[in-house]
Amino acid sequence: MRRVVVTGMGAVTPIGNNVKEYLDGLQNGKSGANLITKFDATNFKTQFACEVEGLNVEEFIDKKEVRRLDEYSVFAIISADEAIADAGISVKEIDPLKIGVIVGSGIGGLRSLEKEIEEFATGNGMPRYNPFMIPKMISDIAAGQISINHGFMGVNYATVSACATSTHALMNAFDYIRIGRADVIVTGGAEAAVTKTGVGGFNAMKALSTRNDDFKTASRPFDVDRDGFVLGEGAGVLVLEELEHAKKRGAKIYAEVVGCGATADAYHITAPHPEGIGATNVMREALADAKLNPEDLQYVNVHGTSTPLGDIAETKAIKQVFGPHAYNLNISSTKSMTGHLLGAAGAIEAIACILSINHGFIPPTINHFTDDPEIDAKLNLTFNEAQEREVTAALSNTFGFGGHNSSAIFKKFVG
């Protein structure tokens, strides 16, 4: 097996529109929650979300091209361009057949589909659909567009596994490179589901917080008064590269990807197993793949969505996997700041882990007010403020509706 490293990163998030801004938001415990601006949410149970703010799309993508893309693809392209520039990869220097793109989306172009259906419903039944409706809507088009823009001709597809999507994408990229089928893969995820359909659908499931009177603190992982997740949007993209390939071209190396895991709860379409069995299994699988002991890790970036059942189950799983060392870990949910980016969550949280390794800090779990008696108070859940800590290995969890579990482990690179 060949070794795989991270040589580039890009991010568009509700707390920063590039990696530098995202790092600043994580270090300062910034809340990305605000009232929804993308549509009139007056009649919705939830009237707030974590939207991307202040992003001038036309600085990055031609205005004509933007009209042919759903917003999730826009976020993906901007993040990918940042990561690719950061890594310094180009088909002028690398065989394009050895550069792939695996970028997923849990929902895809929901706004584009919603708009076309609304216009059809109010247009006397005339089927006058936009010719770009299908390519705007489908979940694989961001990966395709990135490859087209940069001339990357290697493996190219999207993963779709709800909120586990982009960690599964990263895992697939990791495997492709370490078995020798690619040298470089651009990987991650993007989502733009802050729409009437997205908010209304998740409201119908009772999955979203309805704390309209205090939306800034609505994402409250592990707090006894948590009442659901806050919907987020954006994208995260990483450039994964075979170690010797990266060294030969003098690339900077942010971290090494050392292990991944994927399991299923086989329990319920939306609820986690109450004892966290699937989460326990996936973290153990990732540790075994990485050939690491639980004691080798310092930080776990949890799925931690701020839902009543999920947060309890995940802390139980961490105690099962890490045993006594669980109390030496820093644990945090960056969704308390960014909201839940669904299919993009794994990618931006992987970047959070890598930033933690490179900058010696633990991002906080903000908005904590009252302990939950069902969650072990002895666990260090890094409440409210970032903490300084040397991190040599960090694990990121993402779990999706359908019982999809994925974990990835990143390690400080040692030559």
Residues annotated as part of the active site: 163, 303, 340
In terms of C-beta density within 10 A (0-12 exposed, 13-18 middle, 19 or more buried), how is residue 1 classed? exposed
Phi, psi of 68 (to 5 degrees): -95, 5
Q: What is the DSSP secondary structure assignment for residue 69, as one 8-state letter?
A: S
Torsion of the alpha carbons at 265, 269, 270 and 274, rounded to the nearest 10: -40
Question: How many Cβ atoms are within 10 Å of 371's Cβ, its own excluded?
Answer: 14
Token reading at 143? 């990966």
Is the CB of residue 219 less than 8 Å from the CB of residue 175? no
Token reading at 80? 């990918």
Helices (H), ranges, 5-157: 19-27, 63-66, 71-87, 110-121, 133-137, 141-150
- Residue 294 CB contacts under 8 Å (≥ 6 apart), including other chains: 287, 321, 322, 323, 325
Token reading at 341? 């980016």
Tell me the DSSP string of 177-211: HHTTS-SEEEEEEEE---SHHHHHHHHHTT-B---
Dist CA 65 CA 58 (whole Å): 9
Closest CA to 328 of 249, 273, 389: 389
